[in-house]
Structure 1
Amino acid sequence: MKSISIRGALASLSLSMLLSSLGTSIASVGLPTLAEAFSASFQAVQWVVLAYLLSITALIVSIGRLGDLLGRRRLLLIGIALFTVASLLCALAPNLWLLIAARALQGVGAATMMALTMALVSGAVPKEKMGSAMGVLGTMSAIGTSLGPTLGGFLIANLGWQAIFLVNVPVGVLAMGLALYFLPSDRSEKKADRAGFDVPGTLVLVLMLLAYALAMTLGRGTLGPLNMTLLLVTVFGLGVFVFVEHTAESPLVRLTIFRNSQMSAGLVMSMLVTTVVMATMVVGPFYLTGALALDAASVGLVMSTGPLVAALAGVPAGRWVDRLGTYRASTTGLIAMLTGACILPALPMTFGVPGYIVPLAVITAGYALFQAANNTAVMLEIEARQRGVVSGLLGLSRNLGLITGASVMGAVFAFGTASGDILQAQPEAIAQGMRLTFAVAAGLILVALVLGAISKIVSRRLIAPC
């Protein structure tokens, strides 16, 4: 019976992860249709995706902390309900701005699911099975990402744009039912034992993260005056946040947790590696169309290779983590990513599509292994009462990596092409841009490898007998 409960709990958490990742990818494919339906500009309709992303980025850590205080199961149920209702509101929206508002609300629900799934799986699954559980969550996230464009295109073509939001409703109801039945109840605590919620720290963190996300997304990677101002606001906000957390009686994030070298390194490594993964999504379409002369349908098929490999590799990767241990599995994943990132720019264009797909598959499989190992290592290193906020920090690190990767790696690619207009660039110029981008990507993976090695050495010294 216990085995059935664990599987049921994992199923509910997996569906939550699927919904949150599907929410981004399925909406992206509908932007042209939405622009036509609402007679809106592409710049305006982009906020359908941006509002969702901003909500997740700004709130994921705060929601993780709320879960620690109020009960993670209770808050997850609220998050699933909010996401489901917001999905219905998206489908019923009579104009673009109400749709964007509903998407922002949907992002709050997604942030709740992202922040609490890993925290809850840490309590629902035995430690010796944690790697496998993290692999399952990684698989569901990859399935949501890869399924979105295909499912979204099918639904829009046959049922209209409203269907890309309505499809979340039955899945959300199922996830809520499974969570109600299988997830263990939150432990009751006396009011005297409960810490208060850090409102000032939350407000500062939300504003700081919003400023960074907007700096990275507005202007398509160019550092104009507005972007620079927002980055300065981010730096100033970080200083204010550290001060507020030092002086708060019950801080949102206890800064002492960053003294744990493995956890701190894990968060930074997660951001670096996700930045690299985002580079494949940003650069890939331009390279495939501009350098290899593929049509749109072929590009979509090739680009689906990455998420498909991640989906297939997720569960085996989790089992490898349980067998090898988190450090060896994480290092193996990073070495695989580094190998792919070095092979991809080294192969000449004459290798064609196979010369792109094979290194991409190696990078993605390595990422699946790294992610399962890194998430397991970070979640095992913390106290149970801080699982929510640290799970939120893990989600934030990935989101910041995606945002930074889209902006910075896109800018590196544009610089490498040495062309004012990428769409008019010659095939060799685009190939050169791709080579520079993945040279930078390889450098980021090397930094992650070094950080992992240093954190392991430091942790060994700390636990070594005097």
Structure 2
Amino acid sequence: MVCARRFLVFVESARPRIVREHPNAGWFAVGAVCLGAFMGQLDASIVTLTFPAVQREFGMSLAGVQWVSLAYLLTVVGLVVSAGRVADAVGRKFVYLQGFVVFTLASAACALAPGLGWLIGFRVVQAVGAAMLQANSVALVVTSVPPQRMRAALGVQAGAQALGLALGPALGGMLVASAGWRWVYGVNVPIGLLALAIGRYLLPRTRERNAMEQFDWRGLLLMIGSTTGALVAVSAVSGLPLPAWAAITAMVLAAACATGAVRWARRAPEPLVDPALLRPPTVSAGLIGAFAAYLVLFGPLALFPQLRGATPATTGLVLTALPAGFAVAAVVGTRLLPRHWGGRRRERLGAVVVMTALAALVISPAAPWWSFACLGVLGLGLGVFIPSNNAGIMSAIPSGRSGTSGGLVNMSRGLGTAGGVAVVTLALHLGRHAESASAAPRIALLGLLAFAVLAAGTTFVHGRAEFQGSSEREESSMTASAAGPLPALVARPDESALAEAIACLRRAMRRAARATDPANTLSVAQLELLSCVSEHPGIRPGQLARQLRLAPNSVTTLVNGLVGQDMIVRGSGEAGEDRRAVTLTLTAAGHEAVRSWQATNTDILRAALADLHPGWQHLLGAAMPALEELTRAIDTRADSPAQSSSPAHA
């Protein structure tokens, strides 16, 4: 297992240097992920248009052909979290690119399928690749850009998804009408090959992994059982022709597997989903908000094609307003809203806009232009809510688990998609016998409005952290108390552990600085001596020896070497005077060496801090006053009273 994992890790290739060192390297990676997001949503919105043609060619009923989509959705939702967990261990870039390979090959197989059974089987394989893509798309975005750009990057990715969703019906209709239903799958092949090549050169390698000694197969089977049972039950409610006993069995299976998954996760050595990840309100409430928001997003896409009195062209035009508004808000919303607004405020604004748009749709759901305007506003609200909600979830989970958290977000999206179809179908069924033709659509829209209220309610959950994105960071449960007053100290820190941590940090900084600036020929001792002289101009050699805790002869040797390199000049005492009165100052070259050394260390720390979990960044910031006081206390003890009171003997 270990050897296999090491082999897989080496598959992740480095980006070319020109890409890696480009100031927009992170945005190049986001662009590569956007191509996959576009392709995934294009496929999701285009396949349903092939159903009539597939029915005619294979002579099957609609109930059978529906499994082309249902099998795909069941597989993606069941595997997306486990794909994220595997990616956290072996590398997110590797799993993402292999997902393209699987998805592209399966798409080609779907295009050549000789029968409906083969098509459904190939769709399951295609869904395995889609799960590998979806589990890592969000993770690759948030690990490729600085934390302050996370929300904007997720907005761009959401915009690409909305664009694929919007173009799907139009492109699919043209392909089915002109080239046939098989080209709906065939079009994925060139897009997949292009995305594979772009990802190879633009996506960064995984910096931080979360080791996995054994895979949680039991947790995977329980999760597949719970999600499959839930989706089959939802599909039964949505009109899938199943006997009552089958629907009830699916509900019982979902409940039993969900309960078993929770219990197993609490005692498994390496659970597929660590319960600690879901414990912070930012994550648990955020996932509920994501489910409700995606349900509201996909509900109208299932509702409006069922309305009577509108031509397919008119319905397509009306529905285009929803993903178009979503894409606009997701891409430019971050720039237009005030910079100081945190994630919760943005989410609340988006939720208010969503509720207003749905309430307006209830007034007249059948009027095309009114619906077009309301759906556009609905898309704007969702485009503000969803990226901020996703950013809050991702920033509350350590970067080493970003694949798992991305899988959870996409599982919420899959469940929300199925939920939107279920709410609409159930409402249409309940309103079928109503006297008014608009009763059923109004019931469906009221159901969607209820879930919009649920999404808004998650932004007021007590304990949800505020993602600012610029100066502040999302806080996880580990730092929940850091925002409030400091608790009373009940124990002193372990002095030996603290000393060892400081020593390890110094060694790490020295190694990193040497690796970062190999052209520097000065030794660490010389650089520390130059730094000390820079802080104390005119210092004497004896004082310098005490400051650096070095023997006087060693200081003399170092000083002579630096004088020879024109980095230090000696003051009085050279010509027959008492050499103990000699003073040391830096030359311009010495000052430049100190500045370069400090800049190198600052760059190293900046890069290292950027990779830290935001909660640890917050803790380090909160600990700065204590660290400064500790430094002053150590400095005070460095010079004894006897030493400080007898400068004449220096």
Match of 2:357 among 324, 340, 365: 340
CA pair 39-439 structure 1, distance change in 2 beyond 3 A: closer
Tell me which amino acid in the other structure corresponds to 1:402.
T
Quote the offset at 1:442 in angstroms: 2.2
CA pair 321-21 structure 1, distance change in 2 beyond 3 A: farther
Match of 1:360 among 339, 359, 375: 375
| Separation (CA, whole Å) in 1 of partners of 2:463 and 2:360 | 28
> What is residue 422 of structure 1 aligned with on the other side?
none
Question: CA-to-partner distance for each residue in 1:335-382, whole Å, 9 max, x for gaps?
Answer: 100111111113486xx2222222211111101111111111111111
- 2:52 matches 1:32: yes
| Separation (CA, whole Å) in 1 of partners of 2:94 and 2:158 | 23
1:309-458 counterparts in 2 under 5 A? 309-319=325-335, 323=339, 324-347=341-364, 352-415=367-430, 417-419=431-433, 429-456=436-463
- 2:116 matches 1:96: yes
Q: Is the 8 A contact 2:35 2:195 kept in 1?
A: yes
CA-based RMSD: 2.2
What percent identity do the matched residue pairs reach?
A: 30
Q: Is the 8 A contact 1:318 1:373 kept in 2?
A: no
Match of 2:321 among 265, 282, 305: 305
Question: CA-to-partner distance for each residue in 1:57-88, whole Å, 9 max, x for gaps?
Answer: 11111111111111111100110110011111
- 2:229 matches 1:211: yes
| Separation (CA, whole Å) in 1 of partners of 2:81 and 2:115 | 31
Q: Is the 8 A contact 1:202 1:252 kept in 2?
A: yes
| Separation (CA, whole Å) in 2 of partners of 1:31 and 1:189 | 42
| Separation (CA, whole Å) in 2 of partners of 1:341 and 1:348 | 10
SS of 1:2's equivalent in the other structure is coil
Question: CA-to-partner distance for each residue in 1:429-451, whole Å, 9 max, x for gaps?
Answer: 23122222222322222222222
Quote the offset at 1:314 in angstroms: 2.3
Question: CA-to-partner distance for each residue in 1:1-24, whole Å, 9 max, x for gaps?
Answer: 433422321121011111211121
> What is residue 588 of structure 2 aligned with on the other side?
none
Q: Is the 8 A contact 2:346 2:384 kept in 1?
A: yes
Q: Is the 8 A contact 1:321 1:373 kept in 2?
A: no
| Separation (CA, whole Å) in 1 of partners of 2:356 and 2:157 | 25
Corresponding pairs, count: 450
Match of 2:78 among 58, 62, 80: 58
Q: Is the 8 A contact 1:131 1:321 kept in 2?
A: no
| Separation (CA, whole Å) in 1 of partners of 2:465 and 2:443 | 33
Question: CA-to-partner distance for each residue in 1:313-343, whole Å, 9 max, x for gaps?
Answer: 3211244578332111111110100111111
Q: Is the 8 A contact 2:237 2:425 kept in 1?
A: no
> What is residue 498 of structure 2 aligned with on the other side?
none
| Separation (CA, whole Å) in 2 of partners of 1:267 and 1:188 | 24
Q: Which moved more, 1:99-108 or 1:304-313?
A: 304-313
Q: Which has the higher helix share?
A: 1
Match of 1:22 among 42, 46, 53: 42
With structure 1 as the length reference, what TM-score do the two structures score?
A: 0.91
1:289-304 counterparts in 2 under 5 A? 289=308, 293-304=309-320
> What is residue 45 of structure 1 aligned with on the other side?
65
1:90-169 counterparts in 2 under 5 A? 90-169=110-189
| Separation (CA, whole Å) in 1 of partners of 2:179 and 2:239 | 35
| Separation (CA, whole Å) in 2 of partners of 1:84 and 1:385 | 28
> What is residue 254 of structure 1 aligned with on the other side?
274
| Separation (CA, whole Å) in 2 of partners of 1:449 and 1:189 | 34
SS of 1:306's equivalent in the other structure is helix
Relative CO higher for 1 or 2, CA cutoff 8 Å, sep ≥ 6? Answer: 1
CA pair 283-267 structure 1, distance change in 2 beyond 3 A: same
> What is residue 219 of structure 2 aligned with on the other side?
201
CA pair 46-455 structure 1, distance change in 2 beyond 3 A: same
| Separation (CA, whole Å) in 1 of partners of 2:391 and 2:29 | 17
| Separation (CA, whole Å) in 2 of partners of 1:176 and 1:18 | 14
Work out which of the two has the higher radius of gyration on C-alpha atoms and give 1 or 2: 2
Q: Is the 8 A contact 2:88 2:403 kept in 1?
A: yes
SS of 1:30's equivalent in the other structure is helix
| Separation (CA, whole Å) in 1 of partners of 2:294 and 2:369 | 23
